[in-house]
Amino acid sequence: MKIVLTSVFVDDQDKALKFYTDVLGFVKKTEIPLGKFRWLTVVGPLQPDGVELVLEPDNHPAVKPFKQALVADGIPATSFGVDDVQAEYERLKAAGVVFTQPPVAMGPVTTAVLDDTCGNLIQIAQRMF
């Protein structure tokens, strides 16, 4: 068994696609119209056949309060691995990304947390082993 899809709930699919591709550097994989919304996925540029991230509309009534509670408590919706957290932090800060946590060493990982502009906190993490 392996993970092939995971989701992040977004408040605007167009805004999310722009942020996740133009700013974070993911690549659009799938876009299928489904009425008012789309089946919209992105992948890592070095793993075009890897795990897909679904940019899932947050229109279900339970989702917005859930997202707001996570953000209020500083809990990231998901985590993305990077080779160098400090370098990504500097690159993204220069691009105007807002961080709620700068890089912090936490034992075997260093993490930073950013605002994805779509209602989520996202963690980037570098394993130190």
Q: Is pLDDT at 128 greater than 90 in this prediction?
A: no
Contact 91, 43 (CB under 8 A): no
**Above 90 in pLDDT, residue 57?**
yes
* Interval 16-50: pLDDT, tens: 999 999 999 999 999 999 999 999 999 999 999 99
- As a whole number of angstroms, the distance between CA 11 and CA 120 comes to 9
CA dihedral defined by 88, 92, 98, 104, rounded to 10 degrees? Answer: 10
In order, the DSSP letters of 86-129 are HHHHHHHHHTT--EEEEEEEETTEEEEEEE-SSS-EEEEEEE--
Mean pLDDT, rounded, for 54-72: 97
Q: What is the mean pLDDT of residues 65-75?
A: 98
Q: What is the pLDDT of residues 82-122, one digit of tens each?
A: 999 999 999 999 999 999 999 999 999 999 999 999 999 99
Q: What is the mean pLDDT of the chain?
A: 97
Instruction: Identify the sign of the CA torsion 60, 61, 66, 72.
Output: positive
Is the model's pLDDT at 8 over the cut of 90?
Answer: yes
Q: What is the residue range of 25's domain?
A: 5-127
Q: Once rounded to an integer, what is the mean pLDDT over residues 37-65?
A: 97
Q: State the Cα–Cα distance between residues 15 and 5, nearest whole angstrom.
A: 20
Q: How many structural domains does the chain have?
A: 1
Both tokens of 129, joined, read 């082993």
Q: What pTM, to 2 d.p., does this model score?
A: 0.94
Domain of residue 14, CATH code: 3.10.180.10
For residues 116 and 45, what is the distance between their CA atoms, to the nearest angstrom? 18
